[in-house]
């Protein structure tokens, strides 16, 4: 049984569907990377895993989420609280949403421990967590306020807080977007190391495919509320099949053998509720055929475990 299994998830905001039939699974010890441009539904999907979306405005309109076999969308508040404490933890992009500016770093980690593992809310455990996330000289850092730390160190503290509950699944939503490039790579390396050491599963969300290579086992690509391609990370990055994935990869100069010029994906992302009626990528697709705007492509198996939402992807 997969640790997380999302099937045909549908999430509405008012009359518009932000997440339209998303299915994903994450095995124990596996890292799945969810990529796609802004507004495609990555965060909404991620937040639904612990049912963290405010309802309203959001509405879970259909589908199922199984976390350790438990039906998240149908759990009581009590069971939900247990799941949030012990099974799934989140790391977000913005320190301002996760760190309290007027509380010392050590006290914030203690609070997280008290909430999730009260028996371990000790100085020794706080130092161990800070060491685990690679914070140098943690004995002196515990008394710092967040603003005394660099962006990368703040991100490490947020990861330490998320690890305080010993989660089975760490959801990292754009954990590096606010950081500069070298620090981004260090945080990804830290996540890779932590995953190896702790054996947890990771859902990494990013719009930068250039970051995922070393960490992700599998990749799922989202466009306009739907998954358009998914498969083993190395295969998918080496040989993307969906025109959107291909365009995303061309927009990342680090990937591929030759260094090509960075190409932005032409056109704009359709806004929520204004999705084209046929293939949603057709208006921006460099290889669209005349019939594409009238097709409703399904996510179908290609080879191996690759699924692609484009009937012409062999071409």
Q: Closest CB to Mg ion among 108 and 184?
A: 184
Count Cβ atoms below 10 Å from residue 267 Cβ, excluding itself.
12
Pick what 245 binds: ligand ATP, Mg ion, none; C-beta below 5 to 8 Å, kind-dependent.
none
Question: CA-to-CA distance for 22 and 65, rounded, in angstroms?
Answer: 10
Residue 42 contacts ligand ATP per CB under 6 A: yes
Per partner kind, with CB cut-offs from 5 to 8 A, the member of ligand ATP, Mg ion, none near residue 38 is ligand ATP
Run of H or E residues at 206:
strand 201-206
* Residue of 6, 32, 40, 220 interacting with ligand ATP (CB under 6 A): 40
Per partner kind, with CB cut-offs from 5 to 8 A, the member of ligand ATP, Mg ion, none near residue 286 is: none
Integer Cα distance of 191 and 188 in angstroms: 5
Residue 272 touches ligand ATP, criterion: CB under 6 A: yes
**Under 8 Å CB-to-CB from 222, ≥6 apart: which residues?**
22, 34, 35, 36, 40, 41, 42, 45, 228
The one segment of 32-40, 60-68, 76-84, 256-264 that binds ligand ATP by CB under 6 A: 32-40
Beta partners for 169? 88, 201
- Out of 43, 98, 108, 201, name the contact with ligand ATP by CB under 6 A: 43
Q: Which residues bind to Mg ion, rule: CB under 5 A?
A: 43
b/e string for 122-151 if b means 16 or more Cβ within 10 A?
A: eeebbbebbebbbbeebeebbeeebeebee
Query: In angstroms, how far is the first alpha carbon of the chain from the final one?
Result: 35
Q: What are phi and psi of 135, to 5 degrees?
A: -90, 120
Nearer CB in complex with Mg ion: 31/282: 31
Please select the residue that binds ligand ATP; options are 116, 156, 207, 306, rule is CB under 6 A: 207
Query: Per rule CB under 6 A, is residue 13 in the interface with ligand ATP?
Result: yes
Q: Is 38 in the site for ligand ATP (CB under 6 A)?
A: yes
Distances in whole angstroms, Cα of residue 244 to Cα of each of 138, 151, 221, 265: 44, 32, 8, 9
Examine residue 18 and tell whether it contacts ligand ATP (CB under 6 A).
Answer: yes
39 binds, among Mg ion, ligand ATP, none (CB under 5 to 8 A by kind): ligand ATP
Site string for ligand ATP, 158-197 (x = CB under 6 A): ----------------------------------------
Among 3, 9, 30, 41, binds ligand ATP (CB under 6 A): 41
Chain centroid, CA 83 distance in Å: 18
Residues interacting with ligand ATP, by CB under 6 A?
13, 18, 36, 38-44, 57, 207, 272
């Amino acid at each position: 049984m997969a640790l997380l299994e999302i099937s045909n998830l549908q999430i509405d905001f008012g009359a518009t569907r932000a997440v339209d039939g998303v299915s994903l699974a994450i095995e124990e010890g596996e890292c799945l990377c969810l990529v796609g441009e802004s507004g495609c539904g990555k965060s909404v999907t991620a937040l639904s895993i612990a049912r963290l979306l405010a309802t309203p405005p959001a509405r879970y309109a259909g589908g199922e989420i199984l976390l350790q076999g438990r039906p998240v969308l149908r759990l009581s508040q009590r069971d939900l609280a247990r799941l949030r404490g012990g099974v799934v933890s989140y790391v977000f992009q913005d320190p301002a949403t996760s760190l309290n500016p007027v509380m010392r770093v050590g006290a914030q980690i203690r609070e997280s421990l008290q909430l999730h593992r009260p028996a371990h809310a000790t100085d020794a455990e706080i130092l161990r967590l800070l060491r685990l996330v690679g914070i140098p000289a943690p004995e002196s850092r515990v008394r710092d306020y967040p603003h005394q730390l660099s962006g990368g160190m703040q991100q490490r503290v947020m990861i330490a807080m998320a690890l305080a509950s010993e989660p089975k699944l760490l959801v990292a939503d754009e954990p590096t977007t606010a950081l500069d490039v070298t620090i981004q790579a260090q945080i990804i390396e830290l996540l890779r190391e932590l995953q190896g050491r702790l054996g947890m599963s990771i859902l990494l969300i990013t719009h930068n495919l250039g970051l995922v290579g070393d960490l992700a086992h599998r990749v799922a690509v989202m466009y306009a509320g739907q998954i358009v391609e998914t498969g083993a990370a190395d295969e998918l990055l080496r040989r993307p099949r969906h025109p959107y994935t291909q365009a995303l990869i061309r927009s990342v100069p680090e990937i591929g053998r030759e260094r090509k010029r960075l190409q932005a994906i032409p056109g704009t992302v359709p806004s929520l509720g204004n999705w084209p009626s046929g293939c949603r990528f057709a208006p921006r697709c460099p290889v669209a055929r005349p019939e594409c705007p009238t097709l409703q492509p399904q996510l179908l198996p290609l080879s191996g475990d690759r699924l692609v939402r484009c009937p012409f992807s062999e071409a």
